[in-house]
Structure 1
């Protein structure tokens, strides 16, 4: 899984990066918004972990650009601000799947990232396969069950 972290707490982000890396994930950290945006333009990520502000730069702007450049990305907000102050954030940012506080234990955050990242990676792979013409998403009319990937004849 590919994870981009853009958060102001460097010690904490280093811990997240190390723990995700030990579990086999590819993790990049950005220290400034411009750096994060350049990575989002040139690399593919499954998950963006961000804060609302880092050194007076807008995390919401970074997350919105992530959505624009990578429509399948899932975002996770880790912030010191209380959730009551952010009620409409899920409506403004469709990629936002989870919000938690800075005090969230690193192992819990890693588990959340892995769970949401797997969903994002699977969606992206299915879309890539469908767009390549190698497979297509189909549902048997009589089945009403799960969607199956079938080879294109």
Structure 2
């Protein structure tokens, strides 16, 4: 299973990457919109874990590009604020499958990735 983590905080992205690797997943980490798009042009991920408040670019642009380039790819949005906490992200982003807090334990995130990739 191929996973792309797009997160502006390298330490959190690396923590998730290490945990997902231990679960047998192939994981790439991108810290910007440009890097994420470049990675998607090389390998279509099964799941994207995407920081909603991406510092270097737009998370919505990354999700939109994934929907165009890799239409079967699902997006798990992560955030540490209340923006879109009403669930409206699912109305705006058709490939969104989950919306979670950045503080979600890595083992819970891995379970979600496994679940949504299997549903694909």
* Common fold by TM > 0.5: yes
**Cα pair 2:50 2:75 within 8 Å, conserved:** yes
Counterparts of residues 35-50 of structure 1 (less than 5 Å): 35-50=35-50
The structure with higher relative contact order (CA 8 Å, sep 6+) is 2
Distance apart, 1:70 and its partner CA: 0.4
Report the counterpart of residue 72 of structure 2 in structure 1. Answer: 72
TM-score by length of 1: 0.73
1-side partners of 2:84 and 2:24: how far apart?
35
- Find the aligned partners of 1:119 and 1:87 in 2 and give their Cα distance: 21
User: Aligned pair 1:95/2:80, yes or no?
Assistant: no
Unaligned 5+ runs, structure 2? none
Who is 1:123 aligned against?
A: none
What is the TM-score of this pair, normalised by structure 2? 0.92
Q: Does 1:13 align with 2:13?
A: yes
In 2, distance between residues paired with 1:73 and 1:15? 22
The separation in 1 between residues aligned to 2:83 and 2:32, in whole angstroms, is 24
Deviation string 1:15-65 (CA, Å, 9 cap, x unpaired) is 111111111110000111111001112211100000122225211110110
Aligned residues: 120
When the two chains are superposed, the root-mean-square deviation of aligned CA atoms in Å is 1.5
Residues 54 and 15 of structure 1: is their aligned pair in 2 closer, same or farther, counting only changes over 3 Å? same
